[in-house]
Each structure stands twice: as structure tokens, then as C-alpha cells.
Structure 1
Amino acid sequence: MTSDVDDDIMDTGPSSTLPRRQLGRFLREVREASGFTLAAAAKLVDLSPPALQRIETGQTQKVRKQDVRALCELYGVSSEDIQRAIDLAALAKTQSWYHAYGGLYSTAFNMYVGLEGAARQLVTYHEHVPGLLQTADYARAVIGAYPGFDDRDDIDRRVELRLRRQAIITRKVKPVALVVLLHESALYRVVGGRKVMVVQLRHLAEISKLPNVVLRIVPYGAGLIWGMPHGSFTLLEFDTNAKGGTVEPPIVFMEGGPSPDVYLERPDEVRLYSELAMALRSVSLDEKQTRDLIRRVTKEFERDQH
């Protein structure tokens, strides 16, 4: 199979960057896991090394399905994952797109996990403790409550993955900057029982002391921000290049739960959520007030256990 010249040219059209970035990340991960160098893999599927590198870095919009299939077969990818990779290649050509793949797919296809790990900063609003700050027991209670998740081994595997994700904020080299705007209701919503909540709240108070973590409570007294209820969201921001420009544009992620996950890329949409995050932060408690409140609620749970 010989690659067309047009496929080696970076396409800067208006299509979504998300599918091709996820496809590239997946192909790079399975290539490395299979022990192929980029040059060796490119040669075996009749691509030039620069062309394969552009595919792996998500810079090529028009990724040919036959190239994706050849790469996947070379790496020994399952037939199901080959089809998912081909689906992403097709999605990479669309101009308007939201992501309907989720955590029920393999880790390699969980787009949010990949984006989260590549981010420079995460700004997130939640009304329950977000995954990056959850203890094992809290995570197990959350995951175990999801309809159909009744296999203990499967739940344990998902909890393990969630805890591994947390390394991005505790690693010594370039930890992700994390800003969590947590609604006060999250402190009182009992997940897994009062004993689980005591450990979880103590963990929140401690991890909020990390220099790269900002945790601020949005109190009940703040009312409705912008006069309307809104769900959880995460604003992901990425590194800048030597010229100060963004390597990847910022993205807003909204976890779908029973419905599909949603990713927003348009600058006006991202700007709107950035302004919402600033509005939430402006009415939130400061870091010391937040820790003081968390400790008071922890003591309430501790008294209730006796």
C-alpha cells in the first residue's frame, strides 16, 4: 500500500482535533508496546517516518483507513480495537463532533484519560469529589453504584485505574496544576458510608496542601451562579511552545454518565466555561477557609460514628 502524497500533508482545516489526537495516541502506545520503532513500523506499512509521526501526533486530518488497519494488524491489535481505530479515523474528518466513546472502552480508547495526562492545568467544578481526589473506598462506592457494574473484579480494576490517574498531580516532574471548585454539598453527600467519608475528607484537607493543587469550596450561600444550575465540567489547558502559542487548544469536558461524554473545542464555548469557572472561584471560600470547613464537617461525621 503506497501512501498518497496528500496524506503526508498536514491538513489545517476546521475539523475536530480530538479524534485524530486520540487515534495518534493509541497508535503510538500500541506501537511502543509491540516493540517497533517508528522508522521500522513506517517501513513495514509503506509510510514515510514523517508521515507516521504526523499521524501519531494528531497532525494529519486525512488519515486513510487502510493505513490505520495495516498499522493495527502489524501491532497485533484485536479486531474490535481495529474497528474503533478506524472509526476514529473517520471522525477525524468531521467538522462538528462530540465524543460518544467513554470509559467503558479499553484504557487506550478512553480519550479523557489521555487528555488529562497530557494537560498542563485542569480547572474543574464538581458536586461530588472528583476522581483525581478520591480515596479507594470512595471511588469503589461511586463505581459500584453504576448500573450494571456488579462484578467485583471489574470494579477493582476500574478503581485501580482511577487511583493510577492521580499520579499526574503527585509526580515529581511537571505535576499537573489542578484547580478544584467543589460545591459544599459534596462534603455532606454520604458516599460509601460515614467511615468512608471521614477518610475521604481528611484526604481532601491534606492533598489541598500540595503546591500544585488549589481546592476551594463553593458554599451554599453563593446561590445560583449566573442565575442557573449547571453540571460538572473540566477545562483542560495544555503547554505552550517556545513562541508562547498553545501546542494544543484548550478543551472543555463534561462527563455524560448515562449519556455520551461531551467535548467542546470552539473558542467561544471554551471562553464561556472559562468565565464560568472564574465566576465560581470569585464566590468560593479561600484555601484556608476551605480546609477549616472540611475539618469541621469531618468532625461531624466522626461524632456521628459513635
Structure 2
Amino acid sequence: MVKTILITGATDGIGKHLAKKLTSEGHHVILHGRNPQKLELALREVRAVSLRGRVSSYLADFSKLDEVYRFAEEIKRDFQRIGVLFNNAGLYAGKERKVSAENVELTFMLSVLVPYILTTELSPLLEKSADGRVINTSSYMHHFAKVKDLDFGFEKEYNPGLAYNNSKLYTIWMTRYLARDFFLKGSNITINAYHPGLISTNLGNSSSDEKTKKSLFGRLMKSLSKDLDQGIETGYYLTLSEEVRGLTGYYFDEKKVKSVSEKGYSFEKAQKLMDYCQEKVKMFQEKQDF
């Protein structure tokens, strides 16, 4: 069955490589990117391998909530349904804490808040598919999160590693919470998180310093990196496989359900995470109304 698949962060790395594979098999792929030149290049590359030429592209800077909502509205305007929302866009921030206009730390924003908004905003389109799926990109690094308190904005303590690891844990919390929410509402939408593996991509290249890249740790990480064909395997599996049809609220690695870190997890804490996201959304909406 041909699916309409929306992939965020699709201008390089896993996103673009996955888009190429899916469109080469005849699926309609919607590309998202924040850089117009890179998005245009990705669009040409993906169309070049497309079986039917069904590729669309949309520009939006997800560090700005007004652009996130504009993007969602454009998708709702142009599509009656989508089969898969693949939340791939991410960020490994630099040494300095950077925030959006709503004072949301940007690593958290790209990993948690934006996927939350897109999932809720686009759920009516996913509902119209018999097998609507949401795939959230987490990481094995969530096991190294430190959740002493629920400082979702990293205002009390910030470093890029902490922000990344914790945000990937919060991605799993959000996934589990929304899976429960969809189930209780009788929705057919499934939502799962996955670890793509250690991939050599451009994630964080704009902010990582040269000292880190050339360090022993940096060289080791690069040597352990998967290639992109390996890196997209689990994401591709979650996008199309009948084996995962109906499964929801899980964390996958190497195409298998894996255990997740239970560090500090409870439904009440996941609810506080959702409350934080909703608070930021409300703050944004009130500014728009004003």
C-alpha cells in the first residue's frame, strides 16, 4: 500500500536517506527543512530516485513556534490524510543555553515540544489513515539522563550533553503518554520511539567545537558510527512493517522492542512534562491573540 509519509529534518542524514528509499518504492514523501537551499537540493535528489515523482517540500524553522504552527497549517491545507509522521528533526546544541521566544531550550524544543505539537495538530490527518503512525526519534543516550528534578528548560543546570540525554528521555515519556492518550480515546494512531544508532551526520555541526570533534571521544564516536543504510533500518521498519501494526508506546532499537530507562519515570511526572509543553503552547497562543 502506498503511504503519504511526512519526515521532518529531511535535508540530510537519516531523514534524506530514508526519504530516498521510501520514494524510490513509490510512496509519497513530504520533506521538511529549515534551510531553503538545502531543502531545494534535497527535493531534487529525492525526486531523482522517485518511482512516481510524488515528493513535496515545506520550509520551516522549528526553533520558532510560529513557523511550527504555520507548517502544520500548510500540511492540513494541502493534505487530507497522512499515513506516517516521522519526527526526525533534532539538535545537539552548543555550550551556551539557547532558547526560543517562549524560553524553551532548543534541544528540548526540537526533541519534545515540536513533535508534541505536530502530533496533536496533525492527528486528524493521521486518524483518516487505517494505520496512522507517529515515529519519534530518541536515542540510547536517554539511559544517561540525569533527572534530579523536572527542570525541562534546563534553567538550573545546563550543558549540551545533559540537555541532549534528558530530552531523549523526555521524548520517550511523551511517546508513552500520548500512546496511552490515543488508546483511551479509541484512536487508531500508534506512536513509538526509536534509537537510530550512532550515525555520522551533520547533527550539531553548527554548534560543536573543533576541539570536541578532534578529541579521542569524537574520533571514537565517528569510528563506531553506522552508515546511513544501517541507520535507517529501524526507522524504515517502523514506517512500513506489518509486524509493528497496532503496537504503541514502545521504544525500538535494531528493529526490536527494547527496555527503557525508568529513571524518575512515573505517570505523574509524564503528566508534568505534558503540562510544561501545554503551558508553552498556551503562552505562544496568548501572544498571538494579543
Q: Give TM-score, length-normalised by structure 1.
A: 0.28
Rg larger in structure: 1
Q: Give TM-score, length-normalised by structure 2.
A: 0.29
